Amino acid sequence: MGPLETQPLDLPEVPVPTVRLRGAVALLGTFPALSGLDLDVAPGEVAVIRGANGAGKTTLLKVCAGLVPVVTGEATVLGCDLAADRRGVRRRIGLLAHSDHLYDDLTPRENLVFLVKAGGGSPRSVDYALERVGISGRLATTRVASLSAGQRRRTALAVLVARQPGLWLLDEPHVTLDTEGREILDRVIAEAAAGGAAILLVTHEAEVESRLLGLSETASVVTMAGGTACSHLRRVPGGSGQAREGAHVA
């Protein structure tokens, strides 16, 4: 081997974060909804986002989805630089927002077939996804306009189950769901995380938060205020399920 030849170093493999924000600033009009946010979310991590109203939680999800542009700072999601291309990554992201983005005049099945095909997926996953969230039989062929709020929520969740995105952005997903629906949601989240998907989940419910922390070995809690993360505490493996202060601060 000559003096200029190189060989790969045997370094430990560091997982590339699914979400990586550095000094991210995002504006809603002229208001800085995110004001210099730093955040890393690893593949398979369930990151619970909490904070008071107006802390920037929903804006964080929309920035990750490429719906709100980052005006300064860095934002990389699933390896895509959002400053260069906000649209390209969306097929690999699932967003469950406050509004369910379903078409009232179509059935749950038709909604899913459309949204799965639009994402370049195969409609073969649709029936499984609907059954997985408890929307089967006649419900699957009833107009969405006739469904209850909880059933609509389950249908919107089924879209994510069918599309299997690499990043799940969930904005208060437990709201309107009954006990069974919440259990299904928790199981779906745990499966997605086990499959390597990163989960960002906004919640105001302490009980939901502590339950979610037990779903993944790499669960964490991000506390937001004033458009930035005050703390990012990672759950200690083998711990009680509570995130421990000082385990990690982004």
Partner 1 sequence: MWRDALLVAAKDLRIEMRSRVVANQVLPFAGLTLVLFAFALDADPTVLHATGGGLFWVAVLFATVLAVQRSVGVESSNGEAGEGLRMAGIDPAGIFLGKSAAIGAQLIALEAVLTIAVAILYHLRIQGVAILAAAAILGTAGLAAAGTIYGALSASSRVRETLLPLLFLPVVAPVLLSAARAWQLALAGHPGPGAAWLRFLGMFAVVYMVTGTLAYESIMEDG
Picking from 21, 32, 5, the residue whose alpha carbon sits closest to that of residue 64 is: 21
Picking from 29, 38, 36, 39, the residue whose alpha carbon sits closest to that of residue 72 is: 36
Nearest approach in angstroms of CB 26 to partner 1 is: 14
Nearest approach in angstroms of CB 168 to partner 1 is: 12
Distances (CA, A) of 15 to 33, 42, 56, 190, 248: 29, 7, 27, 19, 16
Q: Which residue has the tokens 């969306």?
A: 90
What would the two tokens of residue 184 be? 């299904």
C-alpha 107/C-alpha 32 separation (Å) is 39
| CB-based contact 109:55 (threshold 8 Å) | no
Nearest approach in angstroms of CB 113 to partner 1 is: 9
Quick one: 143 or 248, whose CB is closer to partner 1?
143
C-alpha 64/C-alpha 125 separation (Å) is 25
Quick one: 143 or 204, whose CB is closer to partner 1?
143
Quick one: 101 or 187, whose CB is closer to partner 1?
101
Nearest approach in angstroms of CB 172 to partner 1 is: 13
Distances (CA, A) of 199 to 3, 196, 220: 47, 9, 10
Give how far the C-alpha of residue 96 lies from the chain's centroid of Cα atoms, to the nearest Å: 8
Quick one: 92 or 232, whose CB is closer to partner 1?
92
Taking the CA atoms of residue 46, residue 172, residue 72 and residue 44 in that order, the dihedral angle to the nearest 10 degrees is 10
Quick one: 57 or 234, whose CB is closer to partner 1?
57
Nearest approach in angstroms of CB 56 to partner 1 is: 17
Quick one: 111 or 203, whose CB is closer to partner 1?
111
Quick one: 67 or 83, whose CB is closer to partner 1?
67
Nearest approach in angstroms of CB 91 to partner 1 is: 3
Where along the sequence are the contacts to partner 1 (CB under 8 A)? 65, 67, 86-87, 90-91, 93, 95, 97-103, 105-106, 110, 114-115, 117-120, 143
Picking from 189, 184, 152, the residue whose alpha carbon sits closest to that of residue 170 is: 189
Nearest approach in angstroms of CB 85 to partner 1 is: 11
